[in-house]
């Protein structure tokens, strides 16, 4: 029995810690899938959170034999279709254009993004903020120092420590993904 199915058995028995572990494992993958597939910032976070709520509240009615992950993606896809349907006033499913269930390659990509964001969340707040400004906003060390009212040396030190931490925390493919984000 794989790890997810063991967690599922614990969830069925009422273990909230197991639900939290499942949430930590798949939240970002589900979120990035929703963001990529439905291009709708509004309601995505709620739709993803609702997957875990549904899993919890209907745990005695649900039978998962093979893949908890696939079941979560199915719940999410249905949640997003419902949101889109309500927003657009669509009554027939045929009128709705929606993303296919993610293939294995997409799931691997989503998993790498999730691992990256989980690692970033482990960084101390100031270090993470400095790294985000450098990577996602392409600010120079001097601009970051000015914006945060700290010295340039502090910026350099914190970015160096952040990169060292990420290299220790992440596998090479995920580090490569991070570096690709940085260069865009």
Confidence band (pLDDT; 50, 70, 90) for 18? very high
- pLDDT, tens only, 141-158: 999 999 999 999 999 999
State pLDDT tens for residues 58-70. 998 888 888 888 8
For the chain, give the mean pLDDT.
80
Residues ≥6 apart with Cβ < 8 Å to 70: 101
Over residues 54-83, mean pLDDT: 85
- For residues 112 and 177, is the Cβ–Cβ distance under 8 A? yes
Question: Given the structure tokens 């910032």, which residue do they identify?
Answer: 41
This prediction's pTM: 0.55
Among 27, 20, 115, which residue's Cα sits nearest to residue 76? 27
The tokens of 61 are what?
A: 């009615």
Give the separation between CA 68 and CA 26, rounded to whole angstroms: 10
Winning range, highest mean pLDDT, from 8-22, 25-39, 115-129, 135-149: 8-22
What is the C-alpha separation between 106 and 112, in angstroms, rounded? Answer: 10
pLDDT tens per residue, range 32-51 = 888 777 665 677 888 899 99
Most confident stretch, 80-89, 158-167, 175-184: 158-167
**Predicted pLDDT of residue 108:** 63
Q: Which of 67, 72, 174 is nearest to 120 (CA)?
A: 174
Write the DSSP string, 104-134.
Answer: HHHHHHHHHHHHHHHHHHHS-HHHHHHHHHH
Contact between 44 and 34 (Cβ < 8 Å): yes
Provide the b/e sequence for 1-37 (b: ≥16 CB within 10 Å).
Answer: eeebeebbebbeeeeeebbebbbebbbbbbbbbbeeb
């Amino acid at each position: 029995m794989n790890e997810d199915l063991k967690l599922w058995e614990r969830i069925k028995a009422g273990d909230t810690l197991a639900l939290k572990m499942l949430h930590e494992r798949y939240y970002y993958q589900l979120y990035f899938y929703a963001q990529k597939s439905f291009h709708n910032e509004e309601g995505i976070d709620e739709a993803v959170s609702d997957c875990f709520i549904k899993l919890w509240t209907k745990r005695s009615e649900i039978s998962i034999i093979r893949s908890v992950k696939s079941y979560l993606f199915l719940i999410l896809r249905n949640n997003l279709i419902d949101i889109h349907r309500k927003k657009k006033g669509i009554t027939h499913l045929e009128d709705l254009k929606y993303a296919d269930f993610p293939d294995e390659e997409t799931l691997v990509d989503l998993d790498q993004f999730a691992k990256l964001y989980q690692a970033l969340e482990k960084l101390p707040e100031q270090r993470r903020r400095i790294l985000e400004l450098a990577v996602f906003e392409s600010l120079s060390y001097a601009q970051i120092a000015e914006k945060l009212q700290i010295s340039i040396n502090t910026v350099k030190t914190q970015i160096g420590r952040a990169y060292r931490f990420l290299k220790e925390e992440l596998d090479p493919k995920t580090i490569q993904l991070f570096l690709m984000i940085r260069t865009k």
